Amino acid sequence: MKTVLVHPATYDTVRQAIDRTFEIFPLNLTGKTVLIKPNALRTSTADEAIVTHPSVLRAVVEKVETLSPAAIIVGDNPGVVSYGANEECFEKTGLMAAAKGYYRNIGNEPVKAGFNPEFMPWVSVSRIVMEADIIISLPRFKTHGLTVISGAIKNSYGILPGAQKSILHKIAGSPKRFHEVIVEVFKIRVPDLFILDAVVGMEGNGPASPDLRDIGLILAADNAVAMDAVIAAMMGCDPSRLRFLQKAKEEGLGDYDLKTIHIIGKLEKIPNFKLPPMSGEGNLKDQAVQEMLASKNKFRPKVDQTLCTACGTCVAQCPVSALTMMDEFPEVDPDICITCFCCQEMCPEKAIRLS
Ligand code: SF4
Ligand code: SF4
């Protein structure tokens, strides 16, 4: 039976909830490399509740510091709207200060990860993610126009750098298939612990809605399906109706049946909680959404020859060998490029532009 902790908290008292989390879900971090992944969806202020609140990140970082890890890394790849603005997003939201010097750009150091060929044969993910001994995922309690809730499973979508997120949105083509895509991404590297910021949650048409709710809770779990089932129930949504939870169960990742989940604390439905439309169809067909995805998908990396020093870093690091040196400068093969934009992230001269 999987366990979900539901613990009262404010941003001033969050450390008590984090201490309790590590009592219930003890992790041996001695000598380990620990990646802490908040939800840094886009550049915003902490009060907008679009990202994990910096107080929660800071409390987790300070707790992990006491457990003798070999290294701590904090990072995320912002979503489609803020692609490439990793540092700006962390600075503006306050997550950079909360990371206490452990921030690293997980859009860098790409490696190829096998994927479901129904969607793409592989994707690019940072070596930092793939080689972390322990991953602690810090989602936020939010709704989502396509997946209804944005919780533990959806938070892993941020391990994808660059335009891969929008490409997969497009390849999925329907909300049902997009639910399946997020489980495929989650499976690449299942995190070891989930700590959800539900001190202030989001309702309405998330994940960047202005409708906020004071909930006053931190949730924690070592299983994402169990945590997302509890989030759904709190929002007044039957977890068995969510395709991504059905798919995760089919894949043996956990069970959303609340009878199989041991809940420490009180699971209470939030009264009159505003959910987005259950099908998500309206959002996917929304013309503005389609135009935004299309605008992100058409970009390809292009080298500015006035800045390029021909160091070869981008060619060596491209996870799918889409770059070759031609007449001393790198050129991209658009048929091979998977638009991870890692070359742009890692170019020391900032010589790669998207056009
Ligand atoms: S990494 Fe930048 S400077 Fe180096 S070859 Fe590539 S584009 Fe040129
Ligand atoms: S050339 Fe394309 S696939 Fe290669 S690193 Fe750049 S964006 Fe990624």
CA–CA separation, 105 vs 87, rounded Å? 8
- One domain for residues 288 and 347: no
| H-assigned helices in 221-312 | 224-235, 243-250, 281-285, 287-297
- One domain for residues 291 and 305: no
Instruction: Say whether 315 sits in a helix, a strand or coil.
Output: helix
How long a stretch of residues is the chain?
355
- One domain for residues 308 and 180: no
Question: Dihedral, CA atoms, 82, 125, 221, 251, nearest 10 degrees?
Answer: 120
Cα 323 to middle of ligand 2, angstroms: 7
Cα 343 to middle of ligand 2, angstroms: 6
Please report the pLDDT score of residue 282 as a whole number: 44
Please report the pLDDT score of residue 82 as a whole number: 57
| Ligand 1 pocket residue status of 302, Cβ below 6 Å | no
| Ligand 2 pocket residue status of 303, Cβ below 6 Å | no
Counting from 1 in the atom list of ligand 2, the atom nearest the Cα of 340 is 8
Cα 353 to middle of ligand 1, angstroms: 11
- CATH number (domain holding residue 237): 3.40.50
Please report the pLDDT score of residue 186 as a whole number: 98
Cis amide bond preceding 69, omega within 30: no
| Ligand 2 pocket residue status of 337, Cβ below 6 Å | yes
| Ligand 1 pocket residue status of 316, Cβ below 6 Å | no
| Ligand 1 pocket residue status of 351, Cβ below 6 Å | yes
Residue pair 288/164 in contact by the 8 Å Cβ criterion: no
185: DSSP letter: H
* Closest ligand, as measured to the CA of 164: 2
Instruction: Name residue 219's amino acid.
Output: L
Helix, strand, coil distribution of the chain in percent, nearest 5: 35, 20, 40
Cα 244 to middle of ligand 2, angstroms: 29
Q: Which of 299, 332, 333 has most ligand 2 atoms within 8 Å of CB, for mutation?
A: 332
Please report the pLDDT score of residue 149 as a whole number: 92
| Ligand 2 pocket residue status of 342, Cβ below 6 Å | yes
> What is the count of structural domains for the chain?
2
Cα 348 to middle of ligand 2, angstroms: 15
Q: Which of 300, 302, 309 has most ligand 1 atoms within 8 Å of CB, for mutation?
A: 309
Please identify, among 247, 276, 295, the residue that sits at the C-terminal boundary of a domain: 295
- One domain for residues 234 and 304: no
Q: Is the dihedral of CA 134, 169, 354, 79 positive or negative?
A: negative
Please report the pLDDT score of residue 278 as a whole number: 59
| Ligand 2 pocket residue status of 330, Cβ below 6 Å | no
The terminus-to-terminus CA distance of the chain in angstroms comes to 50
| Ligand 1 pocket residue status of 349, Cβ below 6 Å | yes
- One domain for residues 312 and 197: no
* Closest ligand, as measured to the CA of 124: 2
By alpha-carbon position, which residue is closest to atom 3 of ligand 1?
308
CB burial of 153-172 (b: ≥16 within 10 Å; e: otherwise) equals: bbbbbbbbbbbbbbbbbeeb
Please identify, among 249, 267, 295, the residue that sits at the C-terminal boundary of a domain: 295
Please report the pLDDT score of residue 281 as a whole number: 45
- One domain for residues 309 and 287: no
Mean pLDDT by 10 residues, the chain (355 residues): 97 98 98 97 89 98 98 89 76 96 92 94 94 98 90 96 84 88 97 98 88 97 98 96 96 98 97 78 52 61 92 86 91 85 81 82
Please report the pLDDT score of residue 98 as a whole number: 98
- CATH number (domain holding residue 329): 3.30.70.20
Structural domain of 342: 299-354
- One domain for residues 88 and 237: yes
* Closest ligand, as measured to the CA of 314: 1
Cα 326 to middle of ligand 2, angstroms: 16
CA–CA separation, 2 vs 11, rounded Å? 27
CA angle at 57 for the pair 53 and 62, rounded to the nearest 5°: 145
- One domain for residues 240 and 341: no
